[in-house]
Structure 1
Amino acid sequence: PAPVRYSADVPGGRLFLEPGGLTYSLLAGVPHAHEATAPAASTSIKAHALRVTFEGGTPRPTLSAETQTAEIRHYLRGNDPQRWARDVPGFRQLRYAGIWPGIGAHFYENQNQQLEYDFELAPAADPAAIRLRYDGAEGLTLTTEGSLEIRTSVGVLRELAPRAWQTDAAGHRRAVSCAYGLEGRTVRFRLGAYDRQRPLTIDPTVLFSSYTGSTADNWGFTATYDAQGNLYSGGIVFGAGYPATTGAFRTTFGGVIDIGIIKYNTAVSGPAARVWATYLGGTQADFPHSLVVGSQGDVFLLGTTSSPDYPTSAAAYDRTFNGGTPLTVFGSSNLPNGSDLVITRLSANGSALVGSTYLGGSGNDGLVGGAGSTPLVRNYGDTFRGDILLDAADNIYLASNTSSPNFPVSNGLGASFQGGSLDAVVCKLNATASSLLWSSFLGGSGADAAYSLRLGASGSLYVGGGTSSPNFPTTPGTLHPAARGGVDGFVARLSGAGNLLEKSTYLGTSAYDQGYFLQLDGSGAVYVLGQSLGSYPVTAGRYQNPGSKQFIHKLDADLTATAFSTVFGSGRSTIDISPTAFLVDQCNRI
């Protein structure tokens, strides 16, 4: 809103700095299970707004920023570019000047990268003029240790007993006795004797230790790198918005989730490593699934959204949100409009949309389990699996899933939805996401989802995923052309034009199995990382931990024979990890 000049992340929420005071928007934490089979968490978040007013101060004191950080932020929210904010700098210090006569305030990042503030008094300024009114608090109390406790519906905000000091002519800091004075909802400072002809500093220290909200605003979903060794993360950002009123209120996960993409320079450490951050999304929940960097340094994103106003480019393949049925995913995130896939290309500096489009049909798209319960969702985060890949010309390939019978397909091998709760989809778009070059369903009568992609040297496209279909499309002569039982993994090889299923096989046992990641080595051999609750075959002479439920399987390029397979983990009868990354390097090390 217009009055807010600056904002800062604080543990459990956000602080907004305005001419007349400060506003805290604080969120409570919600316990969240680590397995998809656990009970769902609440979709509603307890929150609290607290406003601190400079009582009796000038209505518009000077507010200026100092010590700019290296990081630049871009806010591409909604589908109106006129409302986007680009090249927003960050600062480590802010100063209010002239709040009361001769009195200002200094907000800064301390050596622990925490927010701190001081009141700075010029010679002869009257400290009795400092009056801080707390609106929205459920109660204010002074403790026997001299701290100020501000009770809210989501926790206790504590300001430690204030310190005060002056610097003498020799440059030595001299302590001045200082304590809080509480008059109803107004806080003042009571000082002992000091030299009124010298400047005075009063330093309250704010503690957020009792807040249960996350101390970070970004939950990681995906990551990638570029040719220069820079790293990129994609996550969901819980942006505590500016509250309309003070006191307790409730919000929803979906209403505060945007996509956050951050570029890091690996040559430096600490906060200086953040080169830029772009916040992307609409008025509802948005999620990143996969990132990749193109030949020109642009960042390509595959994600999902429930936002009818997700930012799209003028020449996008589809600028209209197709919607679906309301659903809750991740145990807590409400998508009231259903979901569409989104494909977005950001410029190398993160500030502009080179291309961005919706992709979907009338059902839910892009979310494993988007049509309800599915045996494919087993682990924390499985709902958001999918992959994006580029060729040498930066054409875009994606692997995902859909519950839409009318998902846009063209020039591909599978022209019709095969039934069940969802089908896998594999698509190719041009480099700016303005044209759908080909698109295909891939599935059978059960639930099917594609998780991983790799391009072969000949231009063929390898796809990996999971299926509960007894009739998933396979080809004769491959390792397992028939279903193994229950949920299986699959690996398929499509022609570069997307219109031919060259090879396809199931992977697994008679129990639950899925293959989450594919890699190819220099000879074209295929490596699969997955999970199995069965007795997955182990090749003699290979490293193994018997009885473990994670597997690595190497097949030949035609998917006809096993080079080796093995299992790793704790040896227990349960799955140990949710696979999130997999790499085979140039020396064939896994």
Structure 2
Amino acid sequence: MEFVENKGQWHSLVNFKGDFKTGSFYLENNGYGVLMHHPDDLHALAEQSHGHGVKAGETIPPITLRSFVYQMRFVDAQPGKALPEKPLSTYNNYFLGNDPAKWAGQCRIFQAVTYRNIYPGIDIRYYSDGGRLKYDFIVQPGANIARIRMKYEGLTEMAIRNKELLLRTPVGDVIEQAPYSYQFVDGKKAEVECRYVLANQTISFQVKNYDPSQVLVIDPSIIFASFTGSTPDNWGYTATPGPDGSLYAGGIVFAPPVGTNYPVSPGAYQTVFGGGATEDTFPGYDIAIFKFSSNGANRMYATYLGGNANEQPHSMIVDQQGNLVVAGRSFSQNYPVTTARIGPGGNYDIVITKFNAAGSALLGSVRIGGTGNDGVNIRPKYQGQVGPDGLRRNYGDDARSEVILDASNNIILASCTQSANFPVRGASFNPGGGFGGGVQDGVVLKFNSNLSNYIFGSYFGGSGLDACFVASIDPETGDLYVGGATSSTNLPGDRTGVLTPNYQGGIADGFVTQIRADGSGLVRTSYFGTTGIDLIYGLKFDKNGFPYIMGTTT
């Protein structure tokens, strides 16, 4: 376990937070709190989030996550001064919610924390050893061991069995191993007899035959015995290289409803995850971004981004200064932004966020959308029935979009919308200027480099289903090329003389459209398809200005 410092991103009671496989450990001045989730429920969420256990055509069922909080308080102790130890070279950044006072950058991570003089002459040190959380009481010469009293709150049962301390909760048992106590005598470690004493939910220690003129160490280990197995806490969506050869990886991390709020009250609670992974109004996942060194050996930082509901990253790109741009979607009404939301919003909205090179500050962040789902291809991952649906044919298709930069570091996004009132700006790529029809259109957006200016934005689509998946800039002309998939037979754009001017039939064709560099209109559009199902997933130019496309076909 590692301990992350609190710089305002969590409740003020918390000094440091550590995570174990199925929960979290919160260090305070006068004890600690433990948040645990039932391992079976986490396993079920993990299975569903990976598409296991539900067949095509079936509706994903809800899952109830059972959670529990207990706390330990030192009785009649004085607030100890926290001294973190063994810092790691990496750090975490937190941008959770739209209150900048709660954002925290470059939060240091430590391998141990000591609280000095919680009782006169007695320190406590928390650390991890062999995958187990441990704490040592360090008793200085002359200090009174009888002062140490640890009161546990919220547990369903406490008992001493085989010299070990059993802490029972509704979601599993926690074992504190028999305390190993020792002193150094003539330079050699000498074990001292020590055992737990339990009375009124309070633990103290009985120590025999020790030298009170020497330092005494009491050393239990905490084993979260029942908390093993799969957890749905990491899920990769996108990656991009940095200018120095570093790697940026973006995905989602499990963020149960406690989220950034410290569980100040012990006891049990439940959360119903609608459709397995809490789409829409049920909170469950935040965006996580990890930066690794060029050889992959070192994690340089981790940044957590989100609000009170769900978000996903779809695409990332890094400029030559190392500033990272992340595009995706969010259902959170309090997603962290630096400018007012563009459009009426509602349901999922498109989000674009730019970080500084350290990942520790927002250089810009925007949320844009209409009243329908924006940034969602057909339907969210965990909604409705499992299986193909319209342009959502393959794994991850619900989250396809691409963010790129032009030569001036302006930010361009190719995505999709189901909003007939999506906020457009500038020239329209669709005849008539509005939504093309059907359930969904593609959208193409351009912002300045810090997302403070919405330069242009337009629908792209016909009367069927349309989605813009990828984008690339012609290095010769500066024109923007956008590719994706469609079921529309009447896509906008001149198709005279193109490779495939007409829809080829089947469920979907791929397409590529050329947009003038200034966004003033379309140059031409071409279908790419067969009578089967065809989708374009990649579009890049080589150094000679030739475009290449990549996709799938049946």
Map of 1:95 onto structure 2: 114
Map of 2:4 onto structure 1: none
RMSD over aligned Cα, in angstroms? Answer: 2.9
Map of 2:444 onto structure 1: 426
Deviating more after overlay: 463-472 vs 11-20: 463-472
Tell me how far apart the structure 1 counterparts of residues 343 and 158 of structure 2 sit (CA, whole Å).
Answer: 47
Map of 1:24 onto structure 2: 34
Once the 2 structures are TM-superposed, how far is the Cα of residue 482 of structure 1 from its aligned partner? 1.6
Tell me how far apart the structure 2 counterparts of residues 456 and 85 of structure 1 sit (CA, whole Å).
Answer: 39
3-state DSSP of counterpart to 2:434: coil
Inter-CA distance 294–201: structure 2 relative to 1 (3 Å threshold): same
Q: Deviations over 1:28-72 (max 9, x none)?
A: 312315349464253653221111122x23142222222333233
3-state DSSP of counterpart to 1:383: helix
Inter-CA distance 488–147: structure 2 relative to 1 (3 Å threshold): farther
Map of 1:331 onto structure 2: none
Deviating more after overlay: 519-528 vs 197-206: 519-528
Map of 2:309 onto structure 1: 284
Once the 2 structures are TM-superposed, how far is the Cα of residue 387 of structure 1 from its aligned partner? 0.9
- Given candidates 294, 306, 314, the residue that maps to 1:266 is 294
Tell me how far apart the structure 1 counterparts of residues 469 and 296 of structure 2 sit (CA, whole Å).
Answer: 33
User: Given that residues 11 and 208 in structure 1 are in contact (C-alpha distance below 8 angstroms), is that contact kept between their aligned partners in structure 2?
Assistant: no
TM score, norm. by length of structure 1: 0.78
User: Given that residues 295 and 392 in structure 1 are in contact (C-alpha distance below 8 angstroms), is that contact kept between their aligned partners in structure 2?
Assistant: no
Map of 1:73 onto structure 2: 92
Tell me how far apart the structure 2 counterparts of residues 312 and 159 of structure 1 sit (CA, whole Å).
Answer: 44
Tell me how far apart the structure 2 counterparts of residues 65 and 321 of structure 1 sit (CA, whole Å).
Answer: 46
3-state DSSP of counterpart to 2:283: helix
Map of 2:356 onto structure 1: 347
User: Given that residues 158 and 208 in structure 1 are in contact (C-alpha distance below 8 angstroms), is that contact kept between their aligned partners in structure 2?
Assistant: yes
Inter-CA distance 116–385: structure 2 relative to 1 (3 Å threshold): farther
- Given candidates 508, 515, 518, the residue that maps to 1:494 is 515
- Given candidates 345, 349, 354, the residue that maps to 1:323 is 345
Equivalence map 1:53-452=2 (5 Å): 53-54=73-74, 56-110=75-129, 115-144=133-162, 146-170=163-187, 172-183=188-199, 185-208=201-224, 210-211=226-227, 217-239=233-255, 240=259, 241-251=261-271, 253=278, 254-266=282-294, 269=297, 273-313=298-338, 316=339, 318-319=340-341, 322-324=344-346, 338-370=347-379, 374-409=389-424, 410-414=426-430, 415-452=433-470
TM score, norm. by length of structure 2: 0.83
Inter-CA distance 27–519: structure 2 relative to 1 (3 Å threshold): farther
Q: What letter matches 2:519 in structure 1?
A: G
Once the 2 structures are TM-superposed, how far is the Cα of residue 509 of structure 1 from its aligned partner? 3.9
Q: What letter matches 2:154 in structure 1?
A: G
User: Given that residues 346 and 355 in structure 1 are in contact (C-alpha distance below 8 angstroms), is that contact kept between their aligned partners in structure 2?
Assistant: yes
Tell me how far apart the structure 2 counterparts of residues 379 and 153 of structure 1 sit (CA, whole Å).
Answer: 39
Q: What letter matches 1:359 in structure 2?
A: I
User: Given that residues 471 and 483 in structure 1 are in contact (C-alpha distance below 8 angstroms), is that contact kept between their aligned partners in structure 2?
Assistant: no
3-state DSSP of counterpart to 2:398: helix
User: Given that residues 82 and 113 in structure 2 are in contact (C-alpha distance below 8 angstroms), is that contact kept between their aligned partners in structure 1?
Assistant: yes
Specify every segment of 5 or more residues in structure 1 that has no aligned partner in the other structure, as ranges.
325-337, 535-590
User: Given that residues 243 and 321 in structure 2 are in contact (C-alpha distance below 8 angstroms), is that contact kept between their aligned partners in structure 1?
Assistant: no
Equivalence map 1:551-566=2 (5 Å): none
Aligned length: 510
Specify every segment of 5 or more residues in structure 2 that has no aligned partner in the other structure, as ranges.
1-10
Alignment identity in percent? 37
Tell me how far apart the structure 1 counterparts of residues 137 and 59 of structure 2 sit (CA, whole Å).
Answer: 48
RCO comparison, higher one (Cα < 8 Å, 6+): 2
Map of 2:60 onto structure 1: 40
Once the 2 structures are TM-superposed, how far is the Cα of residue 267 of structure 1 from its aligned partner? 5.3
3-state DSSP of counterpart to 2:309: coil
Q: Deviations over 1:339-366 (max 9, x none)?
A: 2111122122223222221221222211
